[in-house]
Amino acid sequence: MEIYLPIAEMSVHWLTIIGLGALVGFVSGMFGVGGGFLLTPLLVFYGIPSTVAVATTLSHVTASSVSGALAQWRKNAVDFRMAGVMLAGGLFGTMAGVWLFALLERQGQMDTIVSLTYVVMLGAIGGLMLQESLATMRARAAGVALSVKPVNHPWIQKLPFRMRFRQSRLYISVIPPAGIGFLVGVLSAIMGIGGGFIVVPAMIYLLRMPTSMVMGTSLVQIIGLAVVTTLLQATSNYAVDMVLAMLLVTGGVVGAQFGVSAGAKLHGEQLRLGLAVVVLAVCLKLLWGLVVHPGDVYSLTTGAL
Amino acid sequence: MKRLLIPVLLLLALPVRAEDVVSGLGQDVIEITSNYTGSNIVVFGTVEQSGALAGRDIVIVVRGPGSDMIVRRRDRIAGVWINRAAAKLEGMPAYYYLASTQPLAKVATPDVMARYGIGMEGLEPTAISSHHDTRPFRDAALRQLARRGLYREAPGSIDFLSENLFRTHVPVPADVPRGQYNVEVYLFRDGDVVSAQSTPLFIDQTGIERRMFNFAHNNPFGYGLATVFMALLMGWLSSLLFRQQA
């Protein structure tokens, strides 16, 4: 049955959209990622206007992050102070991002910029994960444990405005977490992502947070950011489609549950290899769309300008 | 002889009324609801005091509300196709459908068609602004709208149920814009319009879709909050459900 989306102003097949939500939910449950970076391009491939796709995906991210965040909170594995500092930076980031979003939309550059940003981000992250997971697999086959070298960032220790994060047993400047929050906020508004795949490595390698705290803290930060960005997109760009969000969330929460149990059966590096392949495939598809000659070099925008 | 002829001629002329067209629509309001996948409207009519069938033609034009459009052209920059040049077109109909008894070229000359605004070829925006030659942009707009099924010409698609009673089906695709449409029925006699009738048609969103759209635009903060709350609630519910299973 077709269902009409009031904001996207188009009809979609509701089962297809629920299926997309479930598929991305499955991937996000399996790999422990938000899945926004997959869902936004998939919706655009389906034909949803990229503005609506970007603004609506965040509802899916919110819903699929909630159960994980609650589980971590029960384990007392959330550093709310750290999440708060990052979110403060994220608030400014998302405001800048939503403003940029509206500007790009007026200039007609939204689609290209979204695709380009995705190609760069996904290419870099997919490539790194592929390399790392293959190296780990080779090391496992050879019977040696590969240890991640601790990275030292003396400049981070010298920054002012230090704050004590008791839960993470850290005493560091608020500038790096707020800065990461800002960056992810901008990306969240123009790419429709929660930013887990940036926040998690940054927490581990840059902020040196204990691994046990990373999952819960990043999820809480992602939910906060997704909520704020959804509100801003709704008020300044009228780009959030509630019907689309409902369909995606319905599929997403179900898919995520199956993804979690499927993911528990696999090794970490196998998971990362799988995710790297998915990420690189999406990246190549987007790149293809950017460089191949469009059938018609002219495109048409109707309606509110 | 002359004195007799004039009253006789007048007498002959009096009862001869002009050839005329009267038409109607199967429905004058189309409501877009959640499961709307496009539909048809029936336009029917009759020719009164019809003359000879040869040389008589019917043309039906359905025009959507005037709308503004932006056409952009991509250029290749560093290997990537990027929107560069743009043109803004004002007052183009958002929808255009034409049905006729035979191809337009056989109905009347382009001059006559242009005078009545009949035919996609003659469609022009009321204003077009660009830093570039505007012609390719206007042509591209027509091409894109035709591809989306919003602009269409269907010669030979008018059925005659009897000599004077005609009917056609006008497709209304799922993504037509809302607003007031006009259905124009033209009667041609030997290459010129002898009678015409215009009937309005309204297309609107109704029900929950309309309320959602209004909610999103009239109270965007509340709408955003509702969406966020829905997502949080669904996430929480699913975690409850999952915990019970585990």
Mutating which of A67, A75, A229 best tests the B interface, going by the most B Cβ atoms within 10 A? A67
Q: In whole angstroms, what is the distance from residue B96 CA to residue B112 CA?
A: 19
Q: Is residue B2 in some structural domain?
A: no
- The answer to whether the CB of B181 falls within 8 A of the CB of B30 is no
| One domain, residues B175 and B57 | yes
Give me the CATH number covering residue B28: 2.60.40.1930
pLDDT band, residue B114 (cuts 50/70/90): confident
Confidence of residue B246 (pLDDT cuts 50, 70, 90): very low
> In this structure, is residue B180 part of a structural domain?
yes
Asked if the structure places residue A303 within a domain, the reply is no
In a domain, A305, yes or no: no
Q: Is residue B43 part of a domain?
A: yes
**For residue A305, what pLDDT is reported?**
43
Decide if pLDDT at B2 tops 70: no
- Tell me: do B214 and B165 sit in the same domain: no
Average pLDDT (A284-291) is: 89
Instruction: Clarify whether residues B76 and B99 are in a common domain.
Output: yes
Q: Give the model's pLDDT for residue A190.
A: 87
pLDDT in tens, B202-238: 988 777 777 888 889 999 999 999 999 999 999 899 8
Whether A304 is in a domain gets the answer no
In a domain, B181, yes or no: yes
Is residue B184 within a helix (H) or strand (E), and if so which, with residue range?
Answer: strand B179-189
Query: Do B199 and B95 belong together in one domain?
Result: yes
For chain A, say whether B176 makes contact (Cβ under 8 Å). Answer: no
Q: Decide if pLDDT at B166 tops 90.
A: yes
- Which stretch, A263-267, B80-84, B140-144, has highest mean pLDDT? B140-144
* Confidence band for B74, pLDDT divided at 50, 70 and 90: confident
Gap from B130 CA to chain A (nearest CA, Å): 14
Eight-state DSSP code of residue A172: E
Tell me whether residues B175 and A10 touch, CB distance under 8 A.
Answer: yes
Q: Is the same domain home to B120 and B168?
A: yes
Q: H or E segment at B179?
A: strand B179-189
In a domain, residue A301? The reply is: no
Mark whether B105 and B218 lie in a shared domain: no
Q: Is B24 on the interface with A (CB under 8 A)?
A: no
Alpha-carbon distance B194 to nearest alpha carbon in chain A (angstroms): 36
pLDDT for residue B31: 81
Q: Is residue A214 part of a domain?
A: yes
Nearest by CB: A305 against B68, B73, B224:
B68
B135 part of a folded domain: yes
Is B114 an interface residue toward A (CB < 8 Å)?
no
Residue B3 lies in a domain: no
- Phi then psi for residue A7, to 5 deg, are -90, -45
Q: Which amino acid is at A186?
A: V
Alpha carbon of B73: minimum distance to chain A alpha carbons (Å): 4
DSSP, collapsed to helix, strand or coil, labels residue A279 as: helix
Residue A25 lies in a domain: yes
Domains identified in chain A, total number: 1
The pLDDT score that the predictor gives to residue A148 is: 57
B80-105 residue pLDDT tens: 888 888 888 888 898 999 999 999 98
- B115-130 mean pLDDT: 84
Enumerate the residues of chain A whose CB falls inside 8 A of the CB of residue B238.
Answer: 63, 66-67, 253-254, 256-257
Chain centre to alpha carbon of residue A55:
12
- pLDDT category of residue B10 using cuts at 50, 70 and 90: very low
Do the Cβ atoms of B69 and A300 come within 8 Å?
A: yes
- Pairwise CA distance, residues A144 & B53, whole Å: 93
Q: What mean pLDDT is predicted for residues A217-228?
A: 91
Is A21 among the domain residues? Answer: yes
B80/A4 touch (CB, cutoff 8 Å), yes or no: no
For residues B160 and B158, give the distance between their C-alpha atoms in angstroms, rounded to a whole number: 7
Q: What was the pLDDT predicted at A6?
A: 82
| CA-wise closest residue to A114 among A61, A181, A57 | A57
Mean pLDDT (chain A) is 85
The mean pLDDT of B165-172, rounded to a whole number, is: 92
Q: Are residues B78 and B164 in the same domain?
A: yes
Q: How far is CA A141 from CA A115, A131, A148, A277, B191, in A?
A: 38, 15, 17, 20, 85
Give the residue numbers spanning the domain of B185. Answer: 17-205
On whether both B44 and B90 belong to a single domain, the answer is yes
Closest to A248 (Cα-Cα) out of A78, A9, A46, A77: A46
| Overall average pLDDT of the A273-290 stretch | 88
Structural domain including A229 reads: 2-291
DSSP strands (E only) in chain A: 2-5, 10-13, 162-165, 170-173, 298-302
- Give residue A243's pLDDT: 92
Q: Tens digits of per-residue pLDDT, A89-121?
A: 999 999 999 999 888 888 888 888 888 888 998
Residue A181 contacts residue A221 (beta carbons within 8 Å): yes
Mean pLDDT of all residues in B45-59 = 87
Domain contains B12: no
Domain count, chain B: 2
Q: Name which of A4, A73, A247 to mutate to probe chain B: the one with the most chain B Cβ atoms within 10 A of its Cβ.
A: A4
Whether residues B146 and B162 fall in one domain: yes
- Which pLDDT belongs to residue B15? 46
Give the H/E segment covering residue B203.
strand B192-205
Give residue B1's pLDDT: 47
pLDDT digits (tens, 9 = 90+) for A126-174: 888 888 888 888 888 887 765 555 556 667 777 777 788 877 777 788 8
Do A240 and B231 make contact, defined as CB atoms within 8 angstroms? no
A302 closest CB neighbour out of B94, B205, B231: B94
> B244: pLDDT confidence band, cut at 50, 70 and 90?
low
One domain for residues B210 and B109: no
**CA nearest B36 in A: which residue?**
A4
